[in-house]
Amino acid sequence: MKEVYSIDDLASRERLDEGADQPARLAVIGHPVQHSLSPQLHQPALDEAEAGMRYIRIDIEAGRLADALAAMKDLGFLGTNVTVPHKFEALAACDELDEGASVLGAVNTVLFEDGRALGFNTDGPGFGLAVREEFAVDLKDLRIMIVGAGGGAGRAVAAQCAREGCERLILVNRTLEKAEQLREELAHFFHSERLEGPGDRLVVAPLDSPLLPEEAGHADLIVNTTSLGLKRTDPSPLPGNCLQPHHLVYDTIYNPPQTRLLADAARAGARTANGLSLLLHQGALAFDLWFPGRRPVDTMRRALAAALK
């Protein structure tokens, strides 16, 4: 059995399951995907449920997602998780989307049912649960800055914050046009009887803005949804002068457990958390989609703790 499979391994069930005791019927697909802890998260839950299947990693290059989903459907997969950089591509590749995926603008979970690929997004709801667990506060009570708002994870997190009625939302992205497009899509969440428009409750800022430290100062929660931090040599996605002691700082990256951003935030006196709790809660929500009525949070929490020892 392999640590990481490729689209070529989806050519046949014999090739995919060579040397394995159980068939692979669930997966996480991404590029890269070697770092993903999703198999360690899901396999113990599958074993506990006596599901009789394996959960694997499949590295799929950009542009091949639709081919991969078609092959997985033909091979009798139950479903798959979708990670960077495929969450947008999955939105178009699925046959049907649930309301959450449509609103959040990205797909991170697929269920194969009756010959169709059904797309969902558990990142947004999982993020809300993660923030509540880590900081004992709800998104609706926070002023939130999202760094990397143009990517799949950033869009999902931003949309969830808007859906839950956060007090203020600051969308930060290197490419300003993507953040502005997201602002237009989310503006209706910020309209109220007292305001003719979203006013300054929904703000867009480029990553190189000289006003970024000031905007960050008005935020309670800062969230990194970029991929900066996956490598230990990566710089922080946010200048150090943006971080203050009153901040809650959440990095959606969980491996490595402390990114440069979190290290800088801790030195500034801020409270910090990495993306492990997001992985846990979005994973449990995905499991519930594949096995309705089952959300094995405790089993998955123990599995993650064991995997990270």
Residue 87 designated active-site: yes
Rounded (10°) CA dihedral 104, 106, 109, 115: 110
In order of 7, 30, 43, the CA distances from 59 in angstroms are: 7, 5, 18
Question: Number of C-alpha atoms within 13 angstroms, CB side, residue 87?
Answer: 23
Contacts 24+ apart (CB under 8 A), 101-105: 103/159, 103/163, 104/155, 104/156, 104/159, 104/160, 105/152, 105/155, 105/156, 105/159, 105/182, 105/185
Residues 6+ apart with CB under 8 A from 197: 187, 191
**How many C-beta atoms surround the C-beta of residue 55 within 10 A?**
24
Catalytic residue of the set 2, 87, 178, 231: 87
Residues 6+ apart with CB under 8 A from 24: 5, 16, 17, 53, 54, 55, 56, 77
- DSSP labels, 257-285: SS-HHHHHHHHTT-EEE-THHHHHHHHHH
* Cross-strand pairs, 204: 171
Catalytic residue numbers, as ranges: 87
